[in-house]
Amino acid sequence: MPDSLAARIAPPPGGPSEGELFKKILGRRWQGLHPDIRRRFDKNPSPGQALHYRGALSELRCSRFGKLLGHLTQPLIQGALIPYSDADFPVEIQVYARPNDPAIYKQRIYRLHGRQPIQFTSFMRESERGEVLEYVGMGLGMKLVLSVEDNGSLHFQSDGYFWDVLGWRIPLPGLLTPGKTFLWHHNETPERFNIRIEIRHWLMGTTFTQVGVFEEVAAPKTVAA
């Protein structure tokens, strides 16, 4: 039976939550996460009431192969693979939900020095087989495996990339992907956390790196026309 995007369960009251999904996937291991991380992911972004985070990347780096891949994939998944290197620039993150949709959406705006802002939106959902899937655009996505590290940090690791076509998940050969993705979510304070992302290609080495610190902020005020 195809793993269709249309075959979804109803979201919990108040909108979908990463925490609810992660609790289900991690089971007893959820309690091993730092309490601040558990509280952070327990927040549900109701439709029209997004969660907002602001921070800065101290490091954004890509290899020559990563730069080539980033430019080649921009028409399909612009922002997912940033083909530039930079440091110490602001980033804004918005986590939101859509009505009658159990997926969790995450929009990022990268404000690199001397360039136009780069916006990238992905969404995460649970598959019919109880997997965590993250889609980055045009039906392209990856399966994520979650784990809890000894210091209570949350770790994500990709377990294959795929292309979702008419509800069928077609695996992509590792050689044709940017590499295996590793993401660490470390807690610093109740309000602040740091993120490290590395993508490592089995042949080309580390292709992309992002390191940054973020904190939750109030929703930006809208100015009346």
What would the pLDDT profile of 37-53 be if each residue is shown by its tens digit?
Answer: 999 999 888 888 899 99
- Residue 176 phi, psi (nearest 5): -95, 15
**Nearest of 11, 31, 51, 49 to residue 148 by alpha carbon:** 31
pLDDT of residue 175: 84
Distance CA 5, CA 136 (A): 14
pLDDT of residue 17: 80
Token readout for 21 is: 């999904």
pLDDT of residue 172: 94
All domains in the chain, ordered by first residue: 18-217 (2.40.128.20)
pLDDT of residue 176: 85
Positions in the chain short of pLDDT 50: 1-13, 223, 225
pLDDT of residue 222: 57
H helices present in the chain, as ranges: 18-26, 35-42, 64-77
Q: How far is CA 10 from CA 75, 103, 206, in A?
A: 32, 10, 39
Distance CA 126, CA 144 (A): 10
pLDDT of residue 15: 59
Kindly tell me the sign of the dihedral angle through the C-alpha atoms of 19, 22, 28, 31.
Answer: negative
pLDDT of residue 4: 41
